[in-house]
Amino acid sequence: MFPSYIKLSSAGLVISMFLFNACQLDETIYSSIYTEDFYKTAADAEKGLVAAYDPLADMYSGPAATLVPDFSDDQTYPRGVVGRNTLTLFTYDVNYTTQKTNSRTNESPQQIWSSGYDGIEKANWIIAKVPEATMDATRQKQIIGEAYFLRAFYQWTLTKNFGDVPIKTTPSYSQEEAIVGKSPKADVYKQIYADLDQALTAGLPSYPNVDKGRPSNEVVNALYAKAALYNEDWAKALEKAKAVINSGKYSLMPDVRDTYRYDKEDAARAENMWAFEVDPLTQTRSHQLTSLMGPTGSAAPEYAKTSYGSMFAYQSFFNSFNPIDKRRLLLDTTYIDKTGKTIAQKNITPITTDAVLIKKYQDPVSTVGMIPNIPILRLADMYLIAAEAEARLNGATGVAYDFINVIRKRAGLPDLATGLGKDAFIDAVIQERAWEFFAEGDRWYDLTRTGKFLTAIPKAVNSVYPVRTPTAKNKYFPIPQDEIYANPKLVQNPDWQ
């Protein structure tokens, strides 16, 4: 067995980079024809770049990238089947045994780890080899810039889930080069910044002149802002968020509900700056969110052709909204069945009488796969990042209020009450983020980066999960034990040893 980041694929077809016996860690590794002879032409470079997006699909088709944080947070919860409740109850182990035995690794932190390093390895090959390709110089530079962006995104995803993680910046020509130890989180962020700096010089196009699923130049700054926020680099977060806002390239959808409508995806790209696109880059890849969030037995036509009743919002979260908040319309306590009858909340699911349905990923028309995009970076995030970063730096200034009030206005809410102190204002921003980004894989990381998860999570309970007791070690997930076995230089997170 070898670390997950020594695998390589092109154009969606996985080609093993090394020949190995899973029981022998000292076996000689042979370079493949692919690594020696690929990336000679423009077509090779384009195919290699598409391959670097494939781990994104692995991460979002489960979708581990959203289910892992969402099932851990204080907004949404799963029907307790196939190992999902281990995330909600914080009972997972370093082997992620329950997910494995139920064939649900695609919903586990292990998928995030393996996909992240798979993507980094593929990006590394592009960065190392595409400069040698014979092709148009402008496109060559853009391809390399996209690879730097993807490497930064994968590295950021890993560190926000696992803390200190290996930094891998060169392709693995040998087994020795594949075995890398962990680096401190501070160094991980230095590498993320360096990669994003490279991406910003690559001449990536601005929206709307960007292919679906690809990052624009503004998206690079958006990831920069988000990474800096998590790194508590408030000045950088504010600078980059303002760069996106002031570019004028993106705009908020007037009706927040249209941000998620399956039939308004093209228009919604004005706000959904970068998303997991079911198509066109990953045409055979779908995701589960649509089918999980509708009621059981495919009972509500507006949700999906097929739905299982496997993911709901807590009643306490629904109750936290101001009744006039338009974002609350993306939740529901009733549904209309196939006969046109209104089904009461107590009958939504047999497992609890207070389940709340989530309406962000509805797709009433698709019969093969699910087509709604999963947002990764939205313009709304830039306003709230700017509000928080400004307050962290300068207190609850008028500038900070202006940023958050843009989002509240779109939601139909009055401006935030004036006169708040610095801490109270920051708490208000974090709460605004909760209402804005629920079921988008965001809330858990807001709770862990601010240390609020230990107090917030025990309050998010119901009859299905009456007691939830995270501990300090749950701030980060354990590194998958398979990776510890495969990499002699890799050590488990201290709290999980």
- Give pLDDT, residue 403: 99
* φ and ψ of 412, to 5 deg: 85, 20
Q: Where are the alpha helices (DSSP H) in 95-202?
A: 97-101, 109-129, 137-162, 175-178, 185-200
Q: How many CB atoms lie within 10 A of CB 442?
A: 23
Does residue 281 surpass a pLDDT of 90? no
- Residue 275's φ and ψ, nearest 5 degrees, are -140, 165
Q: What is the mean pLDDT of residues 241-247?
A: 98
Lowest model confidence (mean pLDDT) among 23-32, 45-54, 410-419: 23-32
Q: Sorting pLDDT into bands at 50, 70 and 90, what band is 471?
A: very high
User: Taking 70 as the threshold, does the pLDDT of residue 358 lie above it?
Assistant: yes
What is the CA angle 264-75-223, rounded to 5? 55
Proportion of the chain above pLDDT 90, given as a percent: 83
Q: Are 178 and 3 in contact (CB under 8 A)?
A: yes
Q: Which two structure tokens, joined as six digits, stand for 123?
A: 């990006």
Taking all residues of the chain, what is their mean pLDDT, rounded to a whole number? Answer: 91
| Band of residue 363 on the pLDDT scale cut at 50, 70, 90 | very high
For residue 329, what pLDDT band results from cuts at 50, 70 and 90? very high
End-to-end CA distance of the chain: 21
21: confidence class by pLDDT, cuts 50, 70, 90: very low
Q: Comparing C-alpha atoms, which of 294, 318, 315, 317 is closest to residue 306?
A: 294
Q: What CA–CA distance (Å, rounded) separates 342 from 283?
A: 36
Residues in the chain: 497
pLDDT one-digit tens code per residue, 379-399: 999 999 999 999 999 999 999
What does the pLDDT read at residue 135? 97
pLDDT in tens, 109-131: 999 999 999 999 999 999 999 99
Cβ-contact 302, 336 below 8 angstroms: yes
Mean pLDDT of 244-272: 96
